[in-house]
A and B are shown apart, each in its own frame.
Chain A
Amino acid sequence: MGKLLMVCDSAATDKLQTLAIIASGMVTSDHEVVIFFMHDAVYALKKDAPPEPEVTSIYPEVAEKVNQARKAGNLLHWKGLLEDLKDLGDVEIVACVQITEILGLEKEDLHPMVDKVAGVNTLAEQAMLADRVMFL
């Protein structure tokens, strides 16, 4: 069993979907995953976040077809998928303390799947403990 640290600073729906799908592959392969949300990604975790933007792509056909699949309910939503993964395996979700404070938020203002709000030293520690680090 290995450990993957994923760092995401984007609230782009396609990035968050990709993050959750990769995490699902790791967890179902029995690996540990730590996800560190930074910058815009923390905003996407707000309980009262505005409606999620549609998937964008430089290829209009990609955006159109992925958004159709999402609307039809044929793609697992990243939040629901991460919640399921936390239930199934070893997944820790961390929100960056800096942007959380800049936005005037507390941990309680974020999605319940967030385990803790922590700073860059936690990120550094996790990076050195992980077998791999992935930035999205």
Chain B
Amino acid sequence: MSNEVQADKVMDARNAFCPGPLMELIKSIKKGEVGKVYEVWSKDAGSIQDIPKWVAKASQEMVAVVEENGYTRFQVRKVK
């Protein structure tokens, strides 16, 4: 996905093992504002499946998944 936008909040969870990155994202979205984009950085291999799965289940919007050197950036817009 390459619909990358400027995130409103970035969480660097590259040092966290599963389920750290997903929990960081969920907590931020829960406390966050509708319409804002939250970005989490993860080196956890499980995040590639777990984060998009949670985003779909929670009916939020996956804006972009960007592969970087050794980690992935997930951008999620809070829509509800």
Contacts and interface: CB of A to CB of B under 8 A. Distances in A.
Contacts of A30: 57-58
Which secondary structure dominates chain A's binding surface?
Answer: helix
Interface stretch (B1-9, B21-29, B60-68, B70-78): B21-29
A28 B58 CA distance: 9
Interface residues of B, number: 16
Contact of A88 (B15, B16, B30): B30
A111 B16 CA distance: 25
Which secondary structure dominates chain B's binding surface?
Answer: helix
A28 B17 contact: no
B15 A76 contact: no
Contacts of B23: 24, 28, 76, 81, 84
A69 B54 CA distance: 25
Contacts of B54: 28-29
Interface residues of A, number: 16
B19 interface: yes
Contact of A72 (B15, B18, B22, B57): B15
Contact of A74 (B15, B30, B53): B15
B19 A21 contact: yes
Nearest to B58: A30
Nearest to A30: B57
A126 B53 CA distance: 28
Interface of A: 21, 24-25, 28-30, 69, 72-76, 81, 84, 87-88
8 contacts: A24-B22, A24-B23, A28-B54, A29-B57, A75-B20, A76-B23, A81-B23, A84-B23
